[in-house]
Structure 1
Amino acid sequence: MLTFEQKLAVIEEFNELTKKEISLGRVNFHYEDSLYDKKNVVYHLHPNGNGFVYTGLLDEYPSDEKGMLNIKDYRADHLRAVITRSIESLSLSPSEKDPVMEEWINDADYGLVLMREEDGYNVYAEENLEGTFNSYKEAANFLEQEGFYKI
Structure 2
Amino acid sequence: MLSFEEKLAVIEEFDELEKKEISLGRVNFHFEESLYDKKIVVYRLHPNGNGFVYGGEIDEVETDAKGMVNIKDYEADELRELIRASIDSLSLSPAEKDPVMEEWLNDADQALVLIREDDGFNVYADESLEGTFNTYQEAADFLNQEGFSRA
TM normalised by structure 1 equals 0.98
Name the Cα RMSD after superposition. Answer: 0.7
Amino acid in the other structure paired with 2:130: E
Runs of 4+ aligned residues of structure 1 deviating over 2 Å after TM superposition are none
**2:50 pairs with 1:50:** yes
Question: In the alignment, which residue of structure 2 is the partner of 1:100?
Answer: 100
Q: What is the distance in 2 between the residues matched to 1:145 and 1:65?
A: 37
Unmatched segments (≥5 aa) in structure 2: none
Deviation at 1:145, TM superposition (A): 0.8
Deviation at 1:150, TM superposition (A): 0.3
Question: In the alignment, which residue of structure 2 is the partner of 1:136?
Answer: 136
Question: In the alignment, which residue of structure 2 is the partner of 1:36?
Answer: 36
Question: In the alignment, which residue of structure 1 is the partner of 2:23?
Answer: 23
Question: In the alignment, which residue of structure 1 is the partner of 2:122?
Answer: 122
Indicate the SS of the match to 1:28.
strand
Deviation at 1:29, TM superposition (A): 0.2
Q: What is the distance in 1 between the residues matched to 2:146 and 2:66?
A: 41
Deviation at 1:56, TM superposition (A): 1.1
CA deviations 1:22-49 (Å, max 9, x no partner) are 1111100000011111111000001111
Q: What is the distance in 1 between the residues matched to 2:142 and 2:64?
A: 37
Deviation at 1:86, TM superposition (A): 0.5
Amino acid in the other structure paired with 2:113: V
Percent of pairs identical after alignment?
74
CA deviations 1:102-143 (Å, max 9, x no partner) are 000111111110000011100001111111111111111111
Unmatched segments (≥5 aa) in structure 1: none
Amino acid in the other structure paired with 1:21: E
Question: In the alignment, which residue of structure 2 is the partner of 1:71?
Answer: 71
Question: In the alignment, which residue of structure 2 is the partner of 1:112?
Answer: 112
Amino acid in the other structure paired with 2:137: K
Q: What is the distance in 2 between the residues matched to 1:120 and 1:51?
A: 34
TM normalised by structure 2 equals 0.98
